[in-house]
Amino acid sequence: MKYISFISALLFFNLSFAQPSFLFRPTDDDEEVFTGPSWETTNKASVYLSQVSFVNWNAGGTNSISGLMSYQTSANYTDKYYTWKNDASLKLGMTDQQGSSLQKSDDIFSLSSNFSYQSDDKSNWFYSAKLTFNTQLFNGYTYSSDSRTLISSFLAPGYLYFGGGMEYGKNVDKMSIYFSPVTLKTTFVLEEDLANAGSYGVDPAVYDDDGNIISEGERIRSEVGILITNSYEMAVMKNVNLKNQVSLYSDYLNNFGNVDVDWSLDFDFKVNDYIKASFGSQIKYDDDVKTVVETDDGETAEAGAKVQWRQFLGVGFAVDF
């Protein structure tokens, strides 16, 4: 019941931002004249930096420096009844704090491709096929006072979604609601230790009584389920843009009704052509991602799935080309 209430509230919040004009059939005044097939490419690069230092500061403090690099590119093809949208995104952040080793603060690599067919130029409905892929490029760790534990690496995990369905939106580049009754989700865990531990929902290794591996953990997990996504971009006010994306997925075969949630909300504040501020938040929930906690006696125990939250605020340099 809690999941149903949460998902209902999430959908209401997302749809409430949508402007009514997106959801109506176009009038004669705002119909676009087709001028032929075209390609459009965009590239966005940005660097955000923050630094804190103290010299004889009576209140105390720790010197630190952090940076985040972001690159986004897209190549979109438009025909009279067809659109093919391709996006790639890379984010990498590092933090160096006095007394600690250099640590990764952000690491996202994603690819997406969306092919849509519009049955006629009066309709806002599209038949769509979507493919998305997400992973990270470098090792990720949890840190304790004297050690670190590997929790992720390249393709551990990696997530591949592929499916088809219906998409609704006057402009699928700016606002869309997508429903796929059949979407294949493939989870990759190619790092041996993580696969043997059964991380991210794969089947763990089987051991004998002496602790020797009888059969190694699975590296790939496949699911078939239902996928609903909502995305839109809008100008909140002059020089302030909002981008919202939400994805809801439930596997038919394993615990149908348990919903994987991925919701990101980003604000861009433009100062001038080269300087901007950015604020972003991302909430994720995946029933297959279990949290490991350390007990009072130093042992580790699995605590189950939890809501994951990531937040970013930075000021830096950005360029579009």
What are the DSSP calls for 57-116, one per residue?
-TT----EEEEEEEEEEEEEEE-SSEEEEEEEEEEEEEEEETTS--EEEEEEEEEEEEEE
Global pTM reads 0.86
The H or E element spanning position 41 is strand 38-52
Please state, in angstroms and as integers, the Cα–Cα distance from residue 2 to each residue in 102, 224, 286, 306, following that order.
39, 24, 15, 14
Its CATH architecture, for the domain 2-320, is Beta Barrel (2.40)
Both tokens of 20, joined, read 């009514």
Domain ranges of the chain: 2-320
Q: Classify burial at 55, counting beta carbons within 10 Å of its beta carbon; exposed 0-12, middle 13-18, buried 19 or more.
A: exposed
> pLDDT, tens digit, for every residue of 74-129?
999 999 899 999 999 999 999 998 888 889 999 999 999 999 999 887 888 999 99
Give 29's DSSP letter. Answer: T
Give 181's DSSP letter. Answer: E
> pLDDT, tens digit, for every residue of 133-157?
999 999 999 888 778 999 999 999 9
Burial pattern 248-259, b for ≥16 Cβ within 10 A else e, equals bbbbeeeeeebb
Residues 177 and 169: beta-carbon distance below 8 Å: yes
Both tokens of 127, joined, read 């038949």
Residues 106 and 128: beta-carbon distance below 8 Å: no
What CA–CA distance (Å, rounded) separates 27 from 35? Answer: 19
Which residues is 240 bridged to in the sheet? 237, 269
Instruction: Return the SS3 of 21.
Output: helix
Query: What string of H, E and C letters represents the secondary structure of 133-171?
Result: EEECCCCEEEECCCCEEEEEECCECEEEEEEEEEEECCC
Digitized pLDDT (tens) for each residue of the chain, 321 residues in all: 445 454 555 554 555 454 444 444 444 445 566 677 899 999 999 999 888 888 878 877 889 999 999 999 999 999 989 999 999 999 999 999 888 888 999 999 999 999 999 988 788 899 999 999 999 999 999 888 778 999 999 999 999 999 999 999 866 667 899 999 999 999 999 999 999 999 999 999 999 999 999 999 999 999 999 999 999 999 999 999 999 999 999 999 988 999 999 999 999 999 999 999 999 999 999 988 887 666 566 555 566 788 999 999 989 999 988
What CA–CA distance (Å, rounded) separates 110 from 112? Answer: 7
Please state, in angstroms and as integers, the Cα–Cα distance from residue 153 to each residue in 136, 149, 190, 202, 251, following that order.
7, 12, 8, 15, 25
